[in-house]
Structure 1
Amino acid sequence: MRMLHTSDWHLGRSFHRESLLRGQAAYVDHLVETVRSERVDVVVVSGDVYDRALPPVDAVALCGEALHRLTGAGARVVLISGNHDSAARLGFGSGLMDGAGVHVRTDPSRAWEPVMVDDVAFYGIPYLEPELVKGAWELPGRSHTAAMSYAMERVRADAARHARSVVLAHAFVTGGEASDSERDISVGGVAHVPLSVFDGVSYVALGHLHGRQRMAETVRYSGSPLAYSFSEAGQRKGSWLVELGSGETSFVPAPVPRPVGRLRGLLDDLLTSPTYTDMEDHWLQVVLTDPVRPKSAMDRLRARYPHTLALAFEPSGAVAAAQPVRLSGRPEAEVALDFVREVRGEPAAPEEEDLLRQAIEASRAKETMA
């Protein structure tokens, strides 16, 4: 049996206000083509199908299209809810969808009831919020380890009846490498789940972390299909193709609609150096290290790098002020001009100082009239 392991689609997500829906649609095209070309029997989606509990309508439409096309290409689909999804909304109609070959598992109390595909048992463990299952499961503590251990004990008990078993889980396994785009799921510092919790099954398809990772030979994160933060620059996105009979696993790279990157340095160097030519089509995060903050920096950067999305300033040699600046009793103009000097690294120009004073006077006049 051939399985394609994906996760963290985050349909409806934007990237610094740039819509990603077109790139996500291209990923769906890629999945369907992979199912056909690689003769995939089952596609598993390990949570965070949507980016938020109430997804936009175009994201819901894309999800419906994806499920319809994947089953039309000949694959069964097993998916679980993640911490970004609304389990109730995602799970609506799951009983009806079972008959169409789409198996949505969002109810923690059914995590150990397998979806059978030939002789392989698929167990969908949705994101487990410890506080919500602690009472019903009589857990010894409010932790992700306690919740996942309880679910896996019951999964192993049922899996013993089957030749092969696959677990879908949405969790932060100890030792995994996080990025900036995952939502924190920690509760009092007990978010991590030990790898040993997943012992005893044929394969564990993990979701939550956005970089592909091999926690063990049969325990893996597929990562997200697109980069959702600049911390993911350089990551190779895609899905795991798993041959459950032989145990062979290969990574299938996903299309990259627009790469992301980071640049750091002096503005003039970034604008003129040929070293950065291949970054001109990237979505960029730029950190300028000029000792004095350059004027119109974003406009100048976008003349060469039109897809610059984030800009920060870290002046080289800058030191923190030794003493806090006194504000009480000082004229507003002096405080404002000190602020300009602090953030820019040089005083305001005379014409800027005049404009600032005029604005303050106009504000005072308006307050008096009120």
Structure 2
Amino acid sequence: MRILHTSDWHLGRSFHRVSMLDAQAAFLDHLVATARDREVDAVVVAGDVYDRAVPPLSAVELFDRALHRLADSGVPTVMISGNHDSARRLGVLSGLVERAGIHLRTDPAGCATPVLLTDAHGDVAFYGLPYLEPALVRDEFKVAKAGHETVLGAAMERVRADLAGRDAGTRSVVLAHAFVTGGTPSDSERDITVGGVASVPSGVFDGVHYVALGHLHGAQTLTERVRYAGSPLAYSFSETTHRKTMWLVELGPEGEIEAERIDCPVPRALARIRGT
């Protein structure tokens, strides 16, 4: 199965008071064209679709157009809410748009209910773990201590339990929005530190074939199976040297991984100039 992994669109964001909307529109054109031209079986968006909980109308319209184009092209899309999104607002009408192949996962209670897609080798279960704010979801996951590792671990226990009840050949993909140990941050991510601890170990995701991460804005490979797509555009000067890409992931019949970086368009490159 061929999967296009992207994240951290931050629709509606500006860069030092300059609107990024045209550049974001160019990226979404590129996303849709890539999904079509590379015959992608699924697009996954690992959170932070919008830049803030109440996005401007122009950003909502851009998102709406992108979803219509993906639906029209027949490419199933799975996306989760990130820490910048309002999960409830993003999840409005999720049941309705699911009929068009757009699967929004914004409710922590549904993290173990996968989107099942099928290729020639069988089922692939896509589990969407929206951003889990520890203080808000500790009751849902019945954990004694509210921490990122604790709640993500509890969510992954549910995922593994569901997966164990499926056919042995079922492959699995998890979407998550978190700061995973070993990742390199930039200046444009919102701090999610709780109790002085922001990161979780990559081992919390053991037992699945691919983990599509969002939150950090640089594309990174933590392990062969655990990767950040990064943001499609630079949102701070700390990202001047970033190569902005999406991951094109080939998930083989036994769960083997081949990954290729697909470059995103750069409407306006950044530069740092130093001097006296």
For this structure pair, what is the TM-score category when the shorter chain's length is used for normalisation?
Answer: over 0.9
Q: For 1:2 and 1:74, how far apart are their aligned partners in 2?
A: 14
Q: For 1:240 and 1:71, how far apart are their aligned partners in 2?
A: 20
Does 1:261 pair with 2:265? no
Q: For 1:173 and 1:188, how far apart are their aligned partners in 2?
A: 16
One-letter code aligned to 2:158: R
SS at match of 2:53: coil
1:234 deviates by: 1.3
1:128 deviates by: 0.1
What are structure 2's unaligned runs of at least 5 residues?
A: none
SS at match of 2:249: strand
- Alignment match of 1:250 (pick from 254, 257, 260): 260
One-letter code aligned to 2:226: V
Q: Which residue is 2:127 aligned to?
A: 123
TM alignment of 1:206-225, pairs within 5 A = 206-225=213-232
Q: Which residue is 1:137 aligned to?
A: 141
SS at match of 2:211: strand
Q: For 1:71 and 1:193, how far apart are their aligned partners in 2?
A: 34
TM-score (norm 1): 0.71
The higher radius of gyration belongs to 1
Q: For 1:136 and 1:257, how far apart are their aligned partners in 2?
A: 43
SS at match of 1:117: strand
Q: For 2:258 and 2:71, how far apart are their aligned partners in 1?
A: 24
What are structure 1's unaligned runs of at least 5 residues?
A: 267-370
One-letter code aligned to 1:220: R
Q: Give the number of aligned pairs.
A: 266
Q: For 1:204 and 1:136, how far apart are their aligned partners in 2?
A: 22
| Superposition CA RMSD, Å | 0.8
Q: For 1:136 and 1:203, how far apart are their aligned partners in 2?
A: 25
Does 1:148 pair with 2:149? no
One-letter code aligned to 1:133: V
1:49 deviates by: 0.1
Q: For 1:9 and 1:79, how far apart are their aligned partners in 2?
A: 11
Stretches of 4+ moved more than 6 A in 1? none
- Alignment match of 1:193 (pick from 196, 200, 205): 200
Q: For 1:238 and 1:10, how far apart are their aligned partners in 2?
A: 15
SS at match of 1:120: strand
Q: Which residue is 2:171 aligned to?
A: 164
SS at match of 2:273: strand
Greater helix share, 1 or 2?
1
Q: For 2:28 and 2:139, how far apart are their aligned partners in 1?
A: 39
Q: Percent identity?
A: 64
Q: For 2:59 and 2:140, how far apart are their aligned partners in 1?
A: 33
Q: For 1:233 and 1:44, how far apart are their aligned partners in 2?
A: 25
Q: For 1:72 and 1:253, how far apart are their aligned partners in 2?
A: 24
SS at match of 1:135: helix
TM-score (norm 2): 0.95
Q: For 1:204 and 1:228, how far apart are their aligned partners in 2?
A: 24
Q: For 1:199 and 1:59, how far apart are their aligned partners in 2?
A: 36
Task: Tell me the alpha carbon deviations over residues 317-346 of structure 1, each in whole angstroms, 9 at most, x when there is no partner.
Answer: xxxxxxxxxxxxxxxxxxxxxxxxxxxxxx
Q: Which residue is 2:87 aligned to?
A: 87
Does 1:54 pair with 2:54? yes
1:136 deviates by: 2.9
SS at match of 2:100: coil
1:188 deviates by: 1.4
